[in-house]
Structure 1
Amino acid sequence: MNSYCDKWNLNPLKLPQHIGIVMDGNGRWATKRVLPRISGHHKGVERVQEITELCGNLGIEALTLFAFSEENWCRPEEEVYGIMGLLRWYIRKEHKRIVEKNVQFRVIGNRIKLSKDIIELIENLEKDTKNNTGMHLSIALSYSAQGEILRAVQKIVKNVQQEELNANEINEKIFEQSLDTKGLPPLDMFIRTSGEYRVSNFLLWQLAYAELFFDNILWPDFDSKKMVELLQMYSLRERRFGKTSEQLAEKSFNMTLG
């Protein structure tokens, strides 16, 4: 039994394997306090550290965090510059800790618009953690789910053109192997903070059977207690995947007998 699950009164058998979070509300958090918007992003990074550590301790297999969308490049230049600087600081500061915590780190999204030094920081951390066996931490950066799907289609078309793949062989598994999230478990739980009720072009393919949670709390205020509260709510949901409640009950009963 996981001691951290005991501490938070969570059943490890009813926890999600893969959680995706849209970390929304940093700017509004700062504005409410008459602070520069970048101050909210700084506070948001603290929550990233806290929630990442919590999920790792609970035995969550994968955590994907939406940090910066492809559409966010349209924000004021000063804010974008500040966020990129914060990203550099975070990767440099956390590099050693992420490696030592046995976390597998990756960035998903389109890296073309990122500066060379940021790409180098990302690639070095990915290289240094590729053989780690702990939680998968994915940061969605310059990310668009529609763009991810298009890139996957382009990869598959290229493989067909090069006769490495037959068009009749294409199925869900083949498609998923071409996504940025290749190798990660299915997305079980989606969380969006700040009171917005939309998925905002995040993990559209992966969301197919995820449980959705929308909360009014702004991301800089999203602490371990709030995360545990949502995990407890998740554990109470019945995930049928197209089956009936009776079928699930019968399966559970047979497993108990076995």
Structure 2
Amino acid sequence: MRIQFLRNATLLLEWQNKKILVDPMLCAKESLDPVPNAANSHRFPLTDLPLDATALQAVLASLDAILVTHTHRDHWDEVAQTLLPKHLPLFCQPADAAKITAQGFTHVIPIETSHLWENTRISRTDGQHGTGEIGKLMAPVSGFVLEDEVQTLYIAGDTIWCEEVKAAMDEFTPDYVVVNAGAAQFLQGDPITMTAADVIQTIQHPAQSKVIAVHMGAVNHCYLTPALLATALADAGVKGIIPAPGEWVTAN
């Protein structure tokens, strides 16, 4: 297994000689209106993809499948909807299946509990995209677990540390967990993605998974930077993986 972090929650996953694109936000830097009700009004993405147009087209042409955890625009933008091959298997949560089908995708596979694709079991997990009324407004969101005979990868999706995440780690004991950090927050309410403390709790879970933290430095309402998270992990005496855009993480 290899994972290339591209930007925000966008990942290129190499798995069993297959390539899966996760949560594609493929638009150019600063091409989207800012997330409203935030502490700043910066247009996003705040950075470009670490791929030029030729490299991006090569990646898209090589794909075997797409995985969309939910359809907020920083995970599923209009450029992705335009550029991605419409015939590829596209795994998503049931609540998004009709919307993605209406966008022209012809092989949409909503996962309620689990689905066997090739030799991989893909299971859907729950999460909490914030607390209270804001969490309800941001829902639904999902995570997904990929399992084969050798390894297990848990992509937690847009969620804070919560009982649903703990339950998923208890059930699947993943080798690797990808968490969406950034401590995204509106002017009202608590963070809606993982804070440094949430990432630390994930690392400290008894499953002893290797934790990859992404979803930082790309959207205007995400205030936890990679540097701040690295400092927090060091202060707590724990180790996590914080990839730079374009960097590959290889399972070992």
Shared fold (TM-score greater than 0.5)? no
TM-score range, shorter chain: 0.3 to 0.5
> Normalized against structure 1, the TM-score is what?
0.32
Relative to its length, the structure with more helix (as a share) is 1
- Give 1 or 2 for the bigger CA radius of gyration: 1
Relative to its length, the structure with more strand (as a share) is 2
